[in-house]
């Protein structure tokens, strides 16, 4: 099924249709653009901020600067040709990229700070929390303390990205 989804995604990207991918979605976008996706050396699970690169500080990702956001992955990817790297973390270099104004790929989860699925993730993948050097209680406490600000920043980022699409298509 993934091969079919990758083909469809590649066609969407070829048509330059507005597309955003989060976590596995960012990995799929990278793969559809010809990059390698592979298991990283460590799990990145927990709340910490990303470094928003200079080229992205005036755009939608500026809302994330200095805001701890949720990371929950162990895979990473090479940067596809023709894209612009927007953000990195202390664990993985490739956290966000764009191609033009219509493609945005985010390896992290700025949307998950208030989502009830967070509890299901901990229950389903407790080994990921441990493999990243954390524990369930600290991660839940971080979610409660940092989640609302992460979601506000994520919503502001997405709203600005969507508004940019509307302006260009008006």
Q: Is 111 a catalytic residue?
A: yes
Which among 71, 94, 111, 143 is annotated as catalytic? Answer: 111
Q: Is 44 a catalytic residue?
A: no
Structure tokens at 14: 């070829």
CATH number at residue 116: 3.40.50.880
Residue 1 has pLDDT above 70, yes or no: no
Given a contact cutoff of 8 angstroms between Cβ atoms, the answer to whether 71 and 108 are in contact is yes
DSSP assignment of the chain, as one string? Answer: -HHHHHHHHHHHHHTT--EEEETHHHHHHHHHTT--EEEEEEEEEEEE--EE-GGGTTSGGGGGTT--EEEEEEEEEPPPTT-EEEEE-SS-S-SEEEETTTEEEESSBTT-SS-THHHHHHHH-HHHHHHTT--HHHHHHHHHHHHHHHHHHHHHHHHHHHHHHHHHH-
Which among 63, 71, 109, 143 is annotated as catalytic? Answer: 109
Task: Dump pLDDT digits (tens) for 46-96.
Answer: 999 999 999 999 999 999 999 999 999 999 999 999 999 999 999 999 999
pTM of the predicted structure, to 2 decimals? 0.93
> Quick one: pLDDT at residue 31?
97
Q: Is 90 a catalytic residue?
A: no
Containing structural domain, residue 159: 2-169
The total of structural domains in the chain comes to: 1
For the packed helices 24-32 and 2-14, what is the interaxial angle rounded to 10 degrees?
70
> Quick one: pLDDT at residue 170?
54
Q: How confident is the model at residue 169 (pLDDT cuts 50, 70, 90)?
A: low
Burial of 38 (0-12, 13-18, 19+ CB in 10 A): exposed
> Quick one: pLDDT at residue 115?
83
């Amino acid at each position: 099924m993934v091969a079919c989804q990758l083909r469809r995604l590649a066609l969407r990207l070829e048509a330059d249709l507005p597309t955003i991918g989060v976590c596995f979605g960012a990995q799929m976008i990278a793969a559809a653009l010809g990059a390698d996706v592979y298991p990283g050396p460590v799990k990145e699970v927990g709340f910490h901020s990303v470094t928003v690169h200079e080229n992205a500080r005036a755009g939608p990702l500026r809302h994330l600067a200095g805001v701890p956001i949720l990371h929950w992955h162990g895979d990473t990817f090479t940067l596809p040709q023709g894209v612009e790297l927007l953000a990195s973390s202390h664990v993985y270099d490739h956290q966000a990229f764009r191609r033009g104004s219509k493609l945005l790929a985010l390896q992290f989860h700025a949307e998950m700070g208030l989502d009830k699925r967070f509890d299901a993730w901990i229950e389903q993948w407790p080994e990921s929390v441990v493999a990243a050097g954390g524990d369930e209680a600290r991660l839940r406490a971080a979610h409660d303390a940092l989640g609302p600000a992460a979601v506000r920043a994520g919503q502001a980022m997405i709203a600005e990205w969507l508004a940019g699409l509307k302006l260009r298509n008006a």
